[in-house]
């Protein structure tokens, strides 16, 4: 391998450790809460997989608001900024648009988005951690409004980053888009993962298998699983017109092997190599997918 290929993280950048988690942010009482807030289970996470036109329009609105908040988070991802500040920005955009942050109070999660920095694969909890130049930050935002959710995420460069980290981000985005392109009615969902895994491997990276895309509408996760690897013959659900779901591959520079922090949420690469992810919520139309998490 060349030095470029062996690079996994900036020289001198300390491994991440949990920071101090600030207080939970309040939501105006007039904003509708999901049924699961501060409960031990999410009953709505077993809803229908094919949606009515009326529900799809509601998911479209929730998705647009989530995309607005994600855009604001990306603009704020700069050296010297804490991940908790990113949470504050996301929270404000959501409530200003009449939406509830879907993660807030979901099965014990106490923040309004996920901030996954550098080696954090997913579910990072916003805290006092200060971002440094050379970092990469994934922000995962879900908005709840009119009884439905819209879910999206993206990975942002923090200041000037290593070319290898930029390549990881570029490949992760293209990986998601290639998975989206093949999500057409009549195909099994495992074809999405097959395309994703092959494309990632071609670039010398790995696609995390243990975390998946999912159906989303009235349920934050409605039981439909979208794999990001070649899982056939498993996950053979047939894609149907009217389905709304996410595709959100997690791509690692090193090994996809992971471990979890004691907080019960934060998932990091075992080798502490960088990881990047992108996500869209989409609806399946007769001619294929339509992205909903767009501004």
pLDDT tens profile 256-288: 999 999 999 999 999 999 999 999 999 999 999
Lowest mean pLDDT among 1-5, 22-26, 224-228: 1-5
pLDDT of residue 47: 87
The contacts of residue 122 (CB under 8 Å, 6+ apart) are: 114, 116, 138, 140, 211, 250, 267, 277
> Which three-class secondary structure state does DSSP give residue 54?
helix
- pLDDT of res. 5: 53
Q: Angle CA(19)–CA(221)–CA(56) in degrees, nearest 5?
A: 120
pTM of the entire predicted model: 0.96
pLDDT of residue 54 exceeding 50, the answer is yes
For the four alpha carbons of 182, 183, 184 and 189, in that order, the dihedral sign comes to positive
In the predicted model, is pLDDT for residue 57 greater than 60?
A: yes
* pLDDT score, position 9: 84
| Average confidence (pLDDT) over 203-217 | 97
Q: What is the pLDDT of residue 10?
A: 79
pLDDT tens-digit map of 43-52 = 999 889 999 9
pLDDT 10s digits, 112-170: 999 999 999 999 999 999 999 999 999 999 999 999 999 999 999 999 999 999 999 99
**pLDDT above 90 coverage of the chain, percent:** 95
The answer to whether residue 2 scores a pLDDT higher than 50 is no
Q: Is the dihedral of CA 269, 275, 280, 285 positive or negative?
A: negative
Nearest to 275 by CA among 294, 295, 249: 249
Q: Is the pLDDT of residue 188 over 50?
A: yes
């Amino acid at each position: 391998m060349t030095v470029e290929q062996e690079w996994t993280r900036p020289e001198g950048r300390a491994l991440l450790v949990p920071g101090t988690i600030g207080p939970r942010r309040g939501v105006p009482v007039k904003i509708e809460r999901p049924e699961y807030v501060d409960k031990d289970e999410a009953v709505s996470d077993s809803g229908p997989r094919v949606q009515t036109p009326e529900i799809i329009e509601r998911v479209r609105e929730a998705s647009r608001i989530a995309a607005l908040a994600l855009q604001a988070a990306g603009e704020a991802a700069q050296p010297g900024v804490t991940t908790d500040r990113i949470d504050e920005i996301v929270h404000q955009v959501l409530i200003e648009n009449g939406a509830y942050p879907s993660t807030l109070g979901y099965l014990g999660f106490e923040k309004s988005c996920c901030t996954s920095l550098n080696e954090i694969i997913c579910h990072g909890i916003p805290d006092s951690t200060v971002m440094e130049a050379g970092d990469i930050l994934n922000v995962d935002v879900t908005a709840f409004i009119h009884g439905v959710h819209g879910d999206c995420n993206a990975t942002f460069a923090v200041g000037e980053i290593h070319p290898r980290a930029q390549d990881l981000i570029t490949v992760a985005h293209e990986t998601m888009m290639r998975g989206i392109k093949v999500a057409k009615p009549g195909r099994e969902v495992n074809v999405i993962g097959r395309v994703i895994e092959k494309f990632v491997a071609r670039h010398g990276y790995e696609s995390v298998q243990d975390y998946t895309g999912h159906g989303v509408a009235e349920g934050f996760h409605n039981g439909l699983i979208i794999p990001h690897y070649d899982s056939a013959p498993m996950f053979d659900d047939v894609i149907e017109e009217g389905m709304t779901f996410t595709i959100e591959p997690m791509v690692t520079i090193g090994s996809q092997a992971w471990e979890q922090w004691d907080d019960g949420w934060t998932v990091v690469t075992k080798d502490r190599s960088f990881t990047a992810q992108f996500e869209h919520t989409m609806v399946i139309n007769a001619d294929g997918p339509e992205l909903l998490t767009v501004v």
